[in-house]
Amino acid sequence: MNEDVLKKVQSNPKFKELVHKKTSLGWQLSIAMLVIYYGFIMILAFSPSTLGAPLAPGMTMTVGIPVGILIILSAFVLTGLYVRKANGEFDQLNREIVEEAQK
Amino acid sequence: MKKCTGSLALAALSLFPVLAFASGAIEGDVKQQATNWHAIIMFVVFVAFTMGITYWAARRTRSASDFYTAGGGISGFQNGLAIAGDYMSAASFLGISAMVFDKGYDGLIYSMGFLVGWPVILFLVAERLRNLGKYTFADVASYRLQQTPVRSFAATSTLVVVAMYLIAQMVGAGKLIQLLFGMNYSSAVVMVGILMVCYVLFGGMLATTWVQIIKAVLLLCGASFMAFMVLSTVGFSPELMFEKAVAAHAKHAAIMSPGKADPVDSISLGMALMFGTAGLPHILMRFFTVSDAKEARKSVFYATGFIGYFYILTFIIGFGAIMLVLNQPGMMETITKDGKQITQLVGGSNMAAIHLANAVGGDMFLGFISAVAFATILAVVAGLALSGASAVSHDLYASVIMKGKANEADEIRVSKITTVVLGVIAIVLGLVFEKQNIAFMVGLAFSIAASANFPILFLSMFWKGLTTRGAVIGGFVGLATAVVLIVLGPAVWVDVMKHKAALFPYKNPAIFSITLAFVSTWLFSVTDKSKSAAEEKAKFDAQFVRSMTGIGATGASKH
């Protein structure tokens, strides 16, 4: 990448917008995943009986089972959210930046 | 029947990263089982078919880019399946279902740790890696730093991780073939070594990827069928399945809730799994096989979906085995261990999924599942060999020794020679380590990946202040800390060296070694006032623009 292209990209307000949007979404979702997972680990470590309680009185299934399945699903849903946003809106913005830089 | 002295803990656990990490050793002897012809025939069919693919791939593998990254022509969906294939090893399939079979709910907890790293890789690493790198993660780490020291570091830690992983897989292959096919240990080690070299040498990344994809599809289909059959026996009522399992299991209702866990060890394990995944060289390399950042993102999305689905299946399979296999006539055996009589599943708990296959699908299906379980090892070792070969040829030979002036034909030749050498080394180590306790090895590989590779890769992309000095010192500090703490910890100091008490109390050092790596990288970077350090910082802006926009990134080569 030559200096000229670099300068054009850096000074393009769309680039700042892209960086801001992509980075903040990436960190927000990462933190969401970390909170979900380490929150779960904390409950395991300090209050395992919460997860071992029956889902409803008389049931064999415990609270932990749907919670575990939901954590697995949450990983899938979070990646889906990011990919949708990044492959749509962000990539559109990115294309415009690249085109404008090569003018 | 030939009896092996190795205990199942050292046999199968080495294969099973989850369990190796978690300890919770399953004790028992590996006995060579009766020859399973269905499995052997189906495995031969698998090998023949994948060799056909290797032949096809070989005709399309010409350039270095073809060899290392299949020319960047793999789609996001295909790569997602291949990544999932790397994860759905014999380890996860047999190991996690065995863990659910033994402990119930705890099995689910471990599989979660393996999954939740993927979203974070997507949000922070995947597309930047794809935009900056070409063949190896060292391309990214050394992007604006000095080539020789950074690539030497990256190649060293790659080779250490690959070696640990390979040993675990080779020994695992030897143990599994006795259980699944009823053949002997050495035959498996030699066969796996030779097939691995064939796939990589002739077919490069294209063949390696397709072997991985085929195996992933077969395993997903097989496991889906088993889970479906299990659920159909209880009228698709999970509650009824849990009731029957609780009634059958010796631990009764305890299998429905989490067991005891040390908080520091649990968090440390979670960190090793999460950041280790983002630092495993053979996984990172997968992101260069797709054409651009968009496909790289898609691959993680599909991979997360397949892996998550697979872990839910193994959970059902584990409970299905409790319900349909445990204490059933013909499925149990009584063995003598340490002078005590114990009753266990024939072949040990790791056979839970295999026996269930027999219970729900008969002999043919049992053969199919056994063949697929063994085939998973082939796919994983091929990816490892390719990653090790690229570290030697691309990072050490082309960049460090030839200073970037190597011609492409020579570079490919070096990687092919390295592949053969790695094959020989893998076979020798597999034979040497047959009777060693290697349960710690995959844990060590993950810890090194998390403590040496991940901090450097992450900081090189996110922190302008990183300098060569900081990266190399910090990386080696992370590597050394991970190795030393594991050696002094319970997994090696007590279990292997037979000392009474461990000098370092935790099984998983990641929380300490990752922190130390970050701190020392930071410290040795900010105190670096050299002229080259200033230049390296100045180059960050251009790197950042490329990592964000992909301007200048390598694209797919068309065939």
**Per-residue model confidence (pLDDT) at position B202:** 94
Would B555 be classed as within a structural domain?
Answer: no
- Out of A9, A27, A59, closest to residue B549 by CB: A9
Residues of B in contact with A31 (CB under 8 A): none
Q: For B276-302, what is the mean pLDDT?
A: 94
Domain-located, residue B556? no
Q: What is the pLDDT of residue B179?
A: 83
Nearest to B297 among A62, A68, A86 (CB): A86
Distance from the Cα of B475 to chain A's closest Cα (Å) equals 24
Q: What is the DSSP letter of B60?
A: T
A21 has a chain B CB within 8 A of its CB: no
Chain A interface test: which of B130, B275, B313, B545 (most A C-beta within 10 Å): B545
- The reply to whether B303 falls in a domain is yes
Task: Summarize the confidence of residues B491-499 as an average pLDDT.
Answer: 87
B556 pLDDT band, cuts 50/70/90, is low
Residue A41 φ/ψ region, left for φ over 0, alpha for ψ in the -120 to 50 degree band, beta for the rest? alpha
Residue B30: pLDDT band (50, 70, 90) is low
Mean pLDDT of B400-428: 94
What is the average per-residue pLDDT within B443-448?
89
- Given a contact cutoff of 8 angstroms between Cβ atoms, the answer to whether B65 and B71 are in contact is yes
Find out whether B108 and B22 touch, Cβ atoms under 8 Å. no
The alpha-carbon gap from A78 to the nearest alpha carbon of chain B, in Å, equals 7
- What is the value of pTM for the model shown? 0.91
Q: For the domain that residue B360 is a member of, what is the CATH number? A: 1.20.1730.10
A78 contacts: CB under 8 Å, gap ≥ 6: A29, A32, A33, B119
Residue B135: is its pLDDT beyond 70? Answer: yes
Contact residues on chain B for A71, CB-CB shorter than 8 A: 112, 116
The answer on pLDDT for A58 being more than 50 is: yes
Residue B484 vs residues B22, B48, B274: alpha-carbon distances, Å: 19, 43, 21
What burial class does residue B321 get, using C-beta atoms within 10 Å of its C-beta: 0-12 exposed, 13-18 middle, 19+ buried?
buried
Q: Could you give the 3-state DSSP secondary structure of residue B160?
A: helix
The reply to whether A86 touches chain B by the CB within 8 Å rule is: yes
Q: Coil, helix or strand for B140?
A: helix
The mean-pLDDT minimum among B254-268, B446-460, B481-495, B502-516 falls in: B254-268
How far away is chain A from the Cα of B294, in angstroms, using its nearest Cα? 6
Give one word for B367, left, alpha or beta, with left for phi > 0 and alpha for psi -120 to 50.
Answer: alpha
Task: Give the domain extent around B192.
Answer: 3-549
pLDDT band at B20 (very low <50, low <70, confident <90, very high): very low
Does any domain span residue B471? yes
Domains identified in chain B, total number: 1
Minimal C-alpha gap between A83 and chain B (Å): 6
Look at residue B558 and tell me if it is in a domain: no
Residue at B554 is within a domain: no
**What is the tens place of the pLDDT at every residue in B505-551?**
998 899 999 999 999 999 999 999 999 999 999 999 999 999 999 99
Residues 6+ apart with CB under 8 A from B101: B107, B318, B321, B322, B326, B345, B349, B352
pLDDT tens by residue, B291-344: 999 999 999 999 999 999 999 999 999 999 999 999 888 788 887 776 778 888
B67 assigned to some structural domain: yes
| pLDDT exceeds 50 at position B27 | no
Q: What is the ipTM of this complex?
A: 0.95
Decide if pLDDT at B29 tops 70. no
3-state secondary structure of B95: helix
Any domain includes B449: yes
Q: Is the pLDDT of residue B19 over 70?
A: no
Q: Which residue of B has its CA nearest to A59?
A: B239
Asked if pLDDT for residue B164 goes beyond 70, the answer is yes
- Taking CA–CA distances from B246, the nearest residue in chain A reads A60
pLDDT at B214: 95
Segment B60-83 shows an average pLDDT of 94
Distance between CA B359 and CA B405 in Å, rounded? 60
Is residue A1 very low, low, confident or very high in pLDDT (cuts 50, 70, 90)?
low
What does the mean pLDDT of chain B come to? 89
